[in-house]
């Protein structure tokens, strides 16, 4: 796979967003840089051998100064690896092939990680359970299996499952779905209005109120208003 030339305008999509799905290696260079010309073919060859497990992008910092400033580059060549939108490793200066190989090897997913990723992508209950046998605290597998269990009505099992990992946006929604179930949008206003009179003294009513808001989501324009009303009733 050929290296991708990235500019200030495409950095967000080609590096930050893409790194949420695959490791992205950024090679910062300039036409006048001799060591850059030495390193370039080496890193391209090593990354190409990963068969897409690692993606290489190249940035001409003379033409794209904002990217160089973002990385606080003091000299080039400079190489940075990003995963999930964050820098996880890097090096500066031209390196021999065996050093570049070791650097890339440290970034590529192991065979087990690759297998787990493929099982999660399968998405069926059997595959997800195998993934969790291999990595019991895998958040993606737990989230996907929790959603399947709730959809199948096995809510207690789903709630027990998500307790394995720290609470996050996905597990909060799974828990809310398990406790409340999916409710038609046109029922939410009447239910929330009725619950408001109970939330101060009734823990179950308060939890149901919060769960409904969780299922509505922050994008629903009513959510912020109902959260303010909840705060007023509680305090």
Cβ atoms of 117 and 138 within 8 Å: the answer is no
Residues 6-52 pLDDT 10s: 999 999 999 999 999 899 999 999 999 999 999 999 999 999 998 88
Percentage of the chain modeled with pLDDT above 90: 60
Provide the annotated active-site residues. Answer: 33, 36
Task: Answer yes or no: is pLDDT of 95 > 60.
Answer: yes
Model pLDDT, residue 183? 58
Residues 111-166 pLDDT 10s: 888 899 999 999 999 999 999 999 999 999 999 999 999 999 999 999 999 999 99
- The pairs formed by 69-75 with CB atoms below 8 angstroms and a separation of 24 or more are 70/11, 71/26, 71/28, 73/28
């Amino acid at each position: 796979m050929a290296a991708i030339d990235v500019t200030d305008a495409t950095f967000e999509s080609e590096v930050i967003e893409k790194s949420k799905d695959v490791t992205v290696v950024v090679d910062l260079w300039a036409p006048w840089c001799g060591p850059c010309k030495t390193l370039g073919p080496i890193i391209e060859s090593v990354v190409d051998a990963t068969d897409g497990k690692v993606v290489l992008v190249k940035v001409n910092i003379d033409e794209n100064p904002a990217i160089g400033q973002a990385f606080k580059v003091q000299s080039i060549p400079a190489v940075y690896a990003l995963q999930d939108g964050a820098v996880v490793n890097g090096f500066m200066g031209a390196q021999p092939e065996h050093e570049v190989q070791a650097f890339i090897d440290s970034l590529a997913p192991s065979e087990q990680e690759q297998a787990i990723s493929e099982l999660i992508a399968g998405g069926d209950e059997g595959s997800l359970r195998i993934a969790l046998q291999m990595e019991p605290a895998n958040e993606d597998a737990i989230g996907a299996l929790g959603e399947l269990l709730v959809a199948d009505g096995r809510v207690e099992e789903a709630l027990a499952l998500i307790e394995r990992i720290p609470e996050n946006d996905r597990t909060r929604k799974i828990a809310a779905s398990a406790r409340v179930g999916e409710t038609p949008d046109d029922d939410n206003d009447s239910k929330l209005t009725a619950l408001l009179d109970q939330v101060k003294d009734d823990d179950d009513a308060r939890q149901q109120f919060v769960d409904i808001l969780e299922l509505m989501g922050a994008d629903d324009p009513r959510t912020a208003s109902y959260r303010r009303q909840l705060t007023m009733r509680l305090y």
